Amino acid sequence: MKIPLLNKIIPDKQNEQGAQDNNPKLTTGLVSVQDVIAPSAIEVDFNHLKIGGTYFRTMFIAGYPRFVSANWLAPLINFNHSLEVSMFIYPVESKEILNDLKRKIAEMEATIESDIKRGKVIDPGVQVALDDALALQEQLAKGAEKFFQFGLYLTISSDSLEELDQVTKEVSSTLGALLIISKPATLQMEDGFKTTLPTCLDKLMITRNMDTTSLATTFPFTSSELTANEGVMYGINEHNDSLIIFDRFTLENANEVVLGKSGSGKSFLVKLEALRSLMFGTDVIIIDPEEEYRALAESVGGDYVSFGFSSNTYINPFELSGAKEGESTENELQIKIGFTLARLLKIMVETKSAEEDAVLHNALEMTYKQKGITYDPETHKNEPPLLEDLYKVLVGFENPMAQNIALRLEKFVKGSFGQIFNRKSTVNLKNSFTVFSFRDLEDQMRSLAIFVIVDYIWNQIRRNLKRRILIVDEAWYLMKNQNSAEFLWSFAKRARKYYLGLTTITQDVEDFMSTDLGKTIVTNSSIQMLMKQSPASIDRLAEVFYLSEGEKSFLLSTNVGEGLFFAGNSHVAMRVVSSPDEYKLVSTRPSEAVKPQAPPPVVPLPPVSETPTPQTETPQRSEPLSVDDLLKIVSKP
Ligand SMILES: Nc1ncnc2c1ncn2[C@@H]1O[C@H](COP(=O)(O)OP(=O)(O)O)[C@@H](O)[C@H]1O
Ligand SMILES: [Mg+2]
């Protein structure tokens, strides 16, 4: 199909001939589509090709293993770099092959016989080849197998020569692990490149014989199956419409991250997972900054704990679990003082020097000591101190630095903030579905609140081991501060030991991924879900997840509730689906909440068509029309 505008200037084939006859100069001066899209030059080197700024290298497969199992090429398809893979399959007439085989078999039998006659040991290689040939002959003669030649080529692309070399090595060793011998198509790079274009032209012709069974195992696209026998349903596999059923606790850790822009369906997906996991006996704890899990908590009979100025639930950050440490050597008070409280207080009073940190450390030890709590685990059951005890200790230090810290701490002890952080804990985690919310806290206080809640949950979890999921929605509140980010990271690291799966949800992908800690949390999670992304964050994600161009554009243009699901080595495109009943529980669309029975708004019809569109065809929907929808209406006859 030609573009109409160019049609005027580019004559088609026959006219071109005519034009050439009439005026060759005119034809050579015309711009064709090829001229517009072609690169200005292609540099062909011994071992690579350079087109524009991109380097390419083609490899061919020279040797195959003797035994393969189904889907043995999956590592190639799941390789962490984009590859162009071409497979060529040439059917061969069985009759010719049978004749060749007959001759070959006779040759090998003669070799073996003469070895036996001369009293020599039979070459095992020949014996194996003979057995193979006989088996193949039988299958071909019966018509059970057909005969093919198979060629496999792959082209690697990269922005730099160094990376190209590196990736080439990685590809070779990945293939080497499968006992496949790959070689660069040296001096044939251009032909190699053309071979891996989707034009179905094999310019290299390096093939190997295969029968139908072996050929079938080369089919590489069975990897996108993520159906397990146990677990919960996450969604529908967009490649083949199978169900994605998965048990996150079967992986090396049960952590999950969900990344996507606002409104892409992150909370929806996580709520469904929570609901379905609950049914299989997993406890669910949710940290909910936006107060959107209330309906869900109420309908499953869970606890909804509001945390803030106007509520009467409190958590004392000084509380210890008093749990036996089991075989682990970590001392709870040591972690509390040296890690958790140190970080919490750093956020509160913003310490600036190591001296200040040291003063705080001493004050913390003294505060606990005054309550009879020391590093001896037996004492951990004593009544814990409060924030005001620390404040008093600091004031009592009679050291200007301690006084100064005390001054900065004052607002969390007295006044309205004291309401929240300076109280005995009144929360308990008895219910198997508990949601913590703190909607009326301002942004700055939220990270503190999440911090304190997560630490509290941590204490509770260690008291009795159970299969649990902790969901931290809008986790970027924690990542904004180095100290709370470190806390989340250490939590993620230790979760597995306590049979806990941490789910981290964030919409601020760019910020989350720009810190090393954020990246570590993401890459160390066994399950990663990428929902619809904004153009600003896609490049960073592509870097971390090795996304192909196709996956990048999928993530930019995908619908609400669709995304990529990564679990271990496999990843699939997924569509999250809910039953109507589930939808009622988990959807938080403001329009539905405000006026549930509101009639759909009248859709203005564009005044373009002369014959008015029949009224019945007006789409009945409660949302404003998108440009696409308008176009559909406009283009109706
Ligand atoms: N898989 C889905 N199927 C149907 N509706 C969905 C789906 N995912 C999201 N939605 C709708 O989009 C709304 C916003 O999704 P939500 O998960 O709250 O977005 P966010 O990514 O900001 O957390 C939901 O309340 C729901 O109405
Ligand atoms: Mg959300």
Q: What are the tens digits of pLDDT across the range 288-297?
A: 888 889 889 9
Q: Are 267 and 574 within 8 A, CB to CB?
A: no
Mutate to test the pocket of ligand 1, among 504, 505, 512, 587 (most ligand atoms within 8 A of CB): 587
- Whether 311 is in the pocket of ligand 1, judged by its Cβ within 6 Å, is no
Q: How many CB atoms lie within 10 A of CB 322?
A: 16
The β-bridge relationship of strands 468-472 and 283-288 is parallel
Coil, helix or strand at residue 479: helix
**458: Cβ contacts below 8 Å, ≥ 6 apart:** 321, 491
Q: Which residues contact 627 (CB under 8 A, 6 or more apart)?
A: none
pLDDT of residue 617: 40
Q: CA separation (Å) from 238 to 21, 456, 558? A: 54, 40, 12
Q: What is the pLDDT of residues 340-354, one digit of tens each?
A: 898 888 888 888 888
Range 473-489 average pLDDT? 83
263 lines ligand 1 (CB under 6 A): yes
Q: What is the pLDDT of residue 594?
A: 55
What pLDDT, on a 0 to 100 scale, did the predictor assign at position 107? Answer: 92
> In which band, very low, low, confident or very high, does the pLDDT at 276 lie, cut at 50, 70 and 90?
very high
Does position 327 have pLDDT exceeding 60, yes or no?
no
φ, ψ for residue 542, nearest 5 deg: -60, -35
Percentage, residues of the chain above pLDDT 90? 32
Predicted pLDDT at 22: 59
Q: How many CB atoms lie within 10 A of CB 473?
A: 25
Q: Residue 331: its pLDDT value, please?
A: 79
Q: Is the CB of 598 under 6 A from ligand 1?
A: no
Q: Is the pLDDT reported for residue 464 higher than 50?
A: yes
> Closest ligand 1 atom, CA of 265?
17
Q: Is 236 in the pocket of ligand 1 (CB under 6 A)?
A: no
Contact 71, 220 (CB under 8 A): yes
Q: What radius of gyration do the chain's Cα atoms show? A: 33
* pLDDT at residue 23, as a whole number: 67
Residue 11 confidence (pLDDT) above 50: no
Average pLDDT of the chain to the nearest whole number: 82
CB of 380 shorter than 6 A to ligand 1: no
Ligand nearest to the CA of 295: 1
E-assigned strand segments in 307-351:
none
Nearest CA to ligand 1 atom 9: 265
- Return the pLDDT at 599: 47
User: Phi/psi zone of residue 322: left (φ > 0), alpha (ψ -120 to 50 degrees), beta?
Assistant: left
Lowest mean pLDDT among 74-83, 254-263, 396-405: 74-83
Structure tokens belonging to residue 244: 């994605």
> Per-residue pLDDT for 193 more than 90?
yes
Residue partners of 87: CB distance under 8 A and separation at least 6: 150, 151, 152, 218
Mean pLDDT for the stretch of residues 67-71: 77
Give the model's pLDDT for residue 443: 73
Considering only residues 550 and 154, tell me which one the structure prediction assigns the higher pLDDT. 154
What are the φ/ψ torsions at residue 244 (nearest 5 degrees)?
Answer: -95, 105
**Ligand number, closest to the Cα atom of 286:** 2
Task: Give the separation between CA 201 and CA 204, rounded to whole angstroms.
Answer: 9
Q: Give pLDDT, residue 575.
A: 93
Q: What is the pLDDT of residue 588?
A: 76
* 111-131 confidence digits (pLDDT tens): 999 989 998 888 888 888 899
The pLDDT value given to residue 631: 52
Span 460-489, average pLDDT: 85
193 alpha-carbon distance from chain centroid: 31
pLDDT of 403 higher than 80: yes
> pLDDT value at position 69?
77
Residue 263 Cα to ligand 1 midpoint, Å, equals: 6
pLDDT in tens, 577-633: 999 989 988 887 766 655 444 444 444 444 444 444 444 444 444 444 455 654 554
Please give the average per-residue pLDDT across 146-162, as a whole number. Answer: 93
Query: Domains (ranges, CATH) in the chain?
Result: 57-217 (no CATH), 253-307+431-588 (3.40.50.300), 316-424 (1.10.8.730), 601-637 (no CATH)
Cα gap 534→541, rounded to integer Å = 10
